[in-house]
Structure 1
Amino acid sequence: MRFQEDSIDCVDFILKKDEVLTVILGGGKGTRLLPLTEKRSKPAVSFGGKYRLIDIPISNSLNSGFEKIFVLTQFNSYSLNRHVHRTYASNSIHQKSFVEIIAAEQTVSSVNWFEGTADAVRKVLPYIREQLPKYVLILSGDQLYNMDLADFMQNHLIDPETEISVACNAVPEDQVYGLGIVQTGVGGFIQEFIEKPQDLSQVESCRQADGKYLANMGIYIFNTRTLIEVLEDQSMTDFGKEILPKAIREKKVKAYNYDGYWEDIGTIRAFYDANLMLTDDIPKFNLYLEKTPFYTRARSLPPTKINNAIVNRALISEGTILDHCEIHRSVIGVRQFIARGSKIYDSVIMGLNHYGGFDRKSGKIPNGIGQDCEIRNAIVDKDCAIGTGVKLLNRNQYTEYEDEFVRIRDGIIVVPRHTKIPDGYEI
């Protein structure tokens, strides 16, 4: 599997890339992203019209020259497993390259499922050992960033004493409460690690000159020997909460300051904002960089068809049909159909797995967005059927609300997957 020529300048480092194994954590239950995660894991959620969140870390690893990848899955994993298999299973050229799924399993040595980030890696150590890696690169399956992981690895190798590297991103003080905050010393080695501080006084010593704080991105490099050592204590199940605070007292743990865009997709608001950010003139997370493309499943879909539609600041995915409608600052997924007279504002309309029928004489609501609908500040999940004259506006400005057709989270209307909204419904 070869997606791109080597982008690593250091010859000595090129020889070591086969000694790197990438392990991508498939995520937990993702309860804060409900209802999008009711029937799928968080990394399997659609993003940007045509991608899945899992495509981001896999693409970062492949673009950086690290082509031996394990994806660890557990909760609601069917959709994620199927996508990874369909997209990345081909391996006919480079036999040493692979993207493989390792699902949680009960074994003779353990009858429990993955109980945390560190526990997940601990339980797959036998498979890691089989690959004989010198370094293990650990990524999260549900974050947005475009990082040269080869540069991260080079930073790890500069000082031969380094045993663990932690990728960090500078964040403002209003974001420190949900993250692990680090303080660095000479040579960039981490002196202090505070996981999800309760108040700013706990991290006052970590404040940088610009008022920001270095936060753990959940992206790590371990020397394999070190990884095995820190996972020996079976009681420690999480890297951020337990492994790293102990490791900085016993090991050489180095911070790598990544100054690009990074977003941990943890809530409906974060997911919504990240999608609409893609419609900016120059988005912080840019899908249009030729040297670092994001890969996803190849679909044999027809071109987008636009029939007398108004489209302004939007991403329109392939196979979409826009018929005498208006799209403003929105993301439209694959195969989506938006009928005459409908208006979409500031919304994420995910795609369809099947076009379905457009004949309303059948009495069935066809897939897609029906005629004369108005949708604002909403997320419409995949394979929904929206009837004629539906108004999704949140007129009462609910922050939280729920009925049989929609749920409102963080003030954003969410239409769960496979929902059929009848003609004339309004909120």
Structure 2
Amino acid sequence: YFMDIRQMIDFHLKKGADVTVATIPFPIAECRRFGVVAVKEDWQVLEFQEKVPNPKPIPGNPQEGLVSMGNYIFNTEVLLEELEIDAADLNSSHDFGKDILPRICNTRLVFAYDFRQNKVPGIEGQNVYWRDVGTIAAYYEANIDLKNPLPKLNLYNPQWPVRSVKYHDPPAKVVIDAQGRIGHLENSLIAGGSIVSGGWVRDSIIGRNVFVSSGAVVEDSIIIGNVIIEEGAQVRRAIIDEGNVIGQGEQIGYDLNKDAERFYLDPDLEIVVVRKKIENRTL
């Protein structure tokens, strides 16, 4: 998501709140998958409901509930006091959404901030894109959408650039291999330092310093970074963690029963996840 946090701070100060929680309305049937905030008419928070089957709707709008986005503004003294109380509670799991915020709704002035009201330069209409990537399926779908011609989250907005970490990697490149086979990159994102040498990449996200060898095929996949896809290997609908080497001629994503014996298979989207390997151990 994109947010101008200054606008949420202004809301917090205007309300004289102790705590402000960023929220976004969701269809009430979908709210059971998230933490939901029950509010008064003025959006003062009454209760936190963590993944309950029948969450409370927004006052005056029975079709939607308020999902917590996991972003909070605390007054400093309030935060310090509540952290000390929580630290002393042996029954607490020490989580803001599960422990601290549900406990303080009746003792502190907590308000919900409507994320849709946040205006970001370059975004027309209401700002409504937010994704919880806490599951493999959600992570895959949110990332794979970025390679689309018109993604829901536009990383190419010059009025609101993403100021992420900068690496001193060389430019990515797509080249002809030693046998004269042309590398192909189609409808994909490719990060710095990565090379497609006579391989074929389609509808995928390629991270930093990935090498796709001659005759290799990568489709509908996320390659995290520092990965080698050796000659003739085929990867389809997979997430490959960093540091892996996909061996010559190996296939991933073509025989799910076989893949499930070696890798993690996500039950929701049937995405194959190849985890990071360190010193002959898989994490």
Corresponding residue pairs, total:
256
What is the TM-score with the length of structure 2 in the denominator?
0.81
Q: Does residue 254 of the first structure (1) align with residue 111 of the second (2)?
A: yes
Whose helix proportion is higher, 1 or 2? 1
Provide the residue aligned with 1:213 in structure 2: 65
Q: 1:324 aligns with which of 194, 198, 215?
A: 198
Q: Deviations over 1:261-311 (max 9, x none)?
A: 222221211221121011122222222223433334432222222122222
CA 1:396/1:205 → structure 2, altered by over 3 Å: closer, same or farther?
closer
Provide the residue aligned with 1:268 in structure 2: 136
Provide the residue aligned with 1:151 in structure 2: 7
**Structure with more relative contact order (C-alpha pairs < 8 Å, separation 6 or more):** 1
Partners of 2:29 and 2:183 in 1: CA distance: 41
Q: Does residue 293 of the first structure (1) align with residue 143 of the second (2)?
A: no
Partners of 2:81 and 2:256 in 1: CA distance: 56
CA 1:232/1:287 → structure 2, altered by over 3 Å: closer, same or farther?
same
CA 1:270/1:397 → structure 2, altered by over 3 Å: closer, same or farther?
farther
Q: Deviations over 1:388-420 (max 9, x none)?
A: 21111242468x9242xx332232111222389
Structure 2: which 5+ runs fail to align? 117-127, 176-181
Partners of 1:407 and 1:248 in 2: CA distance: 40
Q: 1:384 aligns with which of 244, 249, 257?
A: 244
**Matched ranges for 1:28-427 at <5 A:** 145-160=1-16, 162-197=17-52, 199-200=53-54, 203-206=55-58, 209=61, 211-233=63-85, 234-235=88-89, 236=92, 237-259=94-116, 260-307=128-175, 308-352=182-226, 368-396=228-256, 401-403=260-262, 406-410=263-267, 411-418=270-277
Amino acid corresponding to residue 309 of structure 1 in structure 2: G
Partners of 2:109 and 2:25 in 1: CA distance: 21
What is the TM-score with the length of structure 1 in the denominator?
0.55
Partners of 2:35 and 2:256 in 1: CA distance: 37
Q: Deviations over 1:294-342 (max 9, x none)?
A: 3344322222221222222100111211122221110011121111112
Q: CA RMSD in A?
A: 2.5
Amino acid corresponding to residue 417 of structure 1 in structure 2: K
Partner of 2:140: helix, strand, or coil? helix
Partner of 2:12: helix, strand, or coil? helix
User: In 2, are the aligned partners of 1:166 and 1:221 still within 8 Å (CA)?
Assistant: yes
Structure 1: which 5+ runs fail to align? 1-144, 353-366, 421-427
CA 1:184/1:347 → structure 2, altered by over 3 Å: closer, same or farther?
same
Larger deviation: 262-271 or 288-297? 288-297
